[in-house]
Structure 1
Amino acid sequence: MTTTITNSILTAQINHLGAELFSLKNNQNKEYIWDGNPDFWGKHSPILFPIVGTLNNNSFHYQGVDYHLSRHGFAREMEFTLVEKSATSATFRITSDAETVKKYPFEFELDLIYTLSKNRLIIEYKVSNTSNTAMPFSIGAHPAFALPNAFENYALEFATDESLDYYLLENDLISNTTKTISLHNNQLPLAYELFANDALILKKLNSNAVSILENSKPILKVSFENFPSLGLWTKPNAPFLCIEPWFGYSDTRESNGNLFDKEGIQILEQEATFESRFSIEII
């Protein structure tokens, strides 16, 4: 099933499987979300929960039991329920069940709220801990934006002129190797060579927004004020780029398997609710 929300400027379509945004068009019918061609990458904008990235050995332990949790968690593979809908907004929900606790022994409720406001799509995450204990989790976005012209015609413009210190991945885990990219006038020209070693993992950055420029002209801006980390990713020769605001990231080889000790993890107390949001602004 899919749900559509629209206003006078934008139309967004969301698949109930994973509550995944798969289309965002302006009123000229221009598409901004990657079409999911499986020859490159068969997704559009999956949610990453209850982990972001990969665990060491794809597992963790809790109260003497080992659990297996695959990369980016399981929310993206679950059917969400549409719990509220208006012309310009839709709220989707999953809750923990007998299957999720086999992989992640905590009870939760997860809402994704999509809202159109003029030329912006606001995506809100709401995580409620319904367990009788504190709950460790990560959550993140993975939107892929269509870049239909030559990749080198595009650049990223950061809100702050800064140096980007990023960590290299090794077998999907964060290595101890870092590299630095210096921006020029806040901008990073895109080239596939940047992603020769997979994603750029920015554990911390000063900017709270990144714009995509096409031939030096901004076409969209992703704003993520409260997200501490960011991933940037594409596949070789693929006509898309992912801009991924995160709370959390992959393990290292030295990670001890205790989620409560995991670098970048969020700890949500019993009966507490976590909320965050980011937005995609069409320029």
Structure 2
Amino acid sequence: MNTTISNSTINASIKHSGAELFSLKNNQNKEYIWEGNPDFWGKHSPILFPIVGTLKNNTYTINEKEYQLPRHGFARDMDFQLVDKTENSAVFSLKSDAETLKKYPFEFELQLIYTLKETSLDIEYKVINKNQTKMPFSIGAHPAIALAENFENYAIEFEKEEVLKYYILEHDLISNKTEVLETSDNLIPLNYQLFENDALIFKSLESNSLTILENSKPYIKVDFEDFPSLGIWTKEKAPFVCIEPWLGYSDTSENSGDLFEKEGILVLDANQTFHSKFSITLL
């Protein structure tokens, strides 16, 4: 099942499977979200929960008991319930069950709240800890922005002038190796060579937003003030780029395995609720 929300300028469509955004169009019917062609990548904008990235050996421990989670967790592969809808907003909910407890021993509710405002789509995450104990988790976004022209016709402009240090992945884990992207006027021209070693992973940034430029003109803006970390990714010859606001990232090779000790992990107190939000604006 799918749900569509709209206003006078844009509309968005969300799959109930994974509560995944799969379409964002303006009123000229121009599509801004990647179509999901599996020849390149069969997703559009998956939700990353309760981990972001990859665990060492796909394994972690809680109270010395081992559990396994696939890359980016399980929420993206589960059916959400539509719990509220208006013309320009929709709320989806995923609750823990017997199956999730086998992989992640915590009672939770995850809500995805999509809201259209003029030419922007706000995507809010609400994580509710239903336990009497602390709950460790990460959460992240993975929207793939469709690029209709040649990849090299696009550039990314960061909000602030800063040193863009990113971490190199080795065997899907974050290594100690870093490189710095050279910028000119805060601009990174896109080319596929940037992604030869997979995603560019920024543990922290000064910028709270970035703008994708198409032929030097503003195309789309992503605001991510609530998210300290960011991934940028594409595949060779793929006509999209993923802008991925994260709270958390893959394990390092030195990680102990204890989820509470994982670098970048969030810990939510008993019976508390966590909120974060990012937005995509069509320009």
Contact 1:81 1:92 in 2 (8 A): yes
Q: Which deviations, in whole Å up to 9, do the C-alpha atoms of 1:53-104 show, x marking residues without a partner?
A: 0000000011231101010000000100000000000000001000001000
Instruction: Give the C-alpha shift of residue 182 in structure 1.
Output: 2.6
User: Which segments of 5 or more consecutive residues in structure 1 lack a partner in the other structure?
Assistant: none
Instruction: Give the C-alpha shift of residue 202 in structure 1.
Output: 0.1
The 2-side partners of 1:34 and 1:279 are apart by 17
The 1-side partners of 2:119 and 2:151 are apart by 25
The 2-side partners of 1:178 and 1:209 are apart by 22
Counterpart position of 1:54: 54
Instruction: Give the C-alpha shift of residue 162 in structure 1.
Output: 1.4
The 1-side partners of 2:16 and 2:172 are apart by 28
Report whether the alignment pairs 1:64 with 2:72.
no
Report whether the alignment pairs 1:210 with 2:195.
no
Counterpart position of 1:233: 233
User: Secondary structure, in 3 states, of the residue corresponding to 1:220?
Assistant: strand
- The number of residues matched between the two structures is 283
Q: Which deviations, in whole Å up to 9, do the C-alpha atoms of 1:232-265 show, x marking residues without a partner?
A: 0000010000000000000011111001101000
The 1-side partners of 2:81 and 2:255 are apart by 35
Q: Which deviations, in whole Å up to 9, do the C-alpha atoms of 1:119-143 show, x marking residues without a partner?
A: 0000000000001210000000000
- Residues 135-214 of structure 1 mapped to structure 2, 5 A cutoff: 135-214=135-214
Counterpart amino acid of residue 245 in structure 1? P
Counterpart amino acid of residue 252 in structure 1? T
Let me know the Cα RMSD of the aligned residues: 0.5
Counterpart amino acid of residue 70 in structure 2? S
Counterpart amino acid of residue 138 in structure 2? S
The 2-side partners of 1:65 and 1:144 are apart by 36
Counterpart position of 1:123: 123
Counterpart amino acid of residue 229 in structure 1? S
User: Secondary structure, in 3 states, of the residue corresponding to 1:99?
Assistant: helix
The 2-side partners of 1:63 and 1:161 are apart by 43
The 2-side partners of 1:146 and 1:81 are apart by 27
Contact 1:162 1:182 in 2 (8 A): no
Q: Which deviations, in whole Å up to 9, do the C-alpha atoms of 1:157-200 show, x marking residues without a partner?
A: 10001121000001110011100013211110000000000000
Counterpart position of 2:44: 44
Comparing 60-69 with 236-245, greater Cα deviation is found at 60-69
The 2-side partners of 1:31 and 1:57 are apart by 38
Comparing 9-18 with 173-182, greater Cα deviation is found at 173-182
Counterpart position of 2:32: 32
The 2-side partners of 1:160 and 1:208 are apart by 8
The 2-side partners of 1:131 and 1:60 are apart by 19
Counterpart amino acid of residue 174 in structure 1? I
User: Which segments of 5 or more consecutive residues in structure 2 lack a partner in the other structure?
Assistant: none
Counterpart amino acid of residue 20 in structure 1? E
Q: Which runs of 4+ in 1 moved over 2 A?
A: none
User: Secondary structure, in 3 states, of the residue corresponding to 1:185?
Assistant: coil
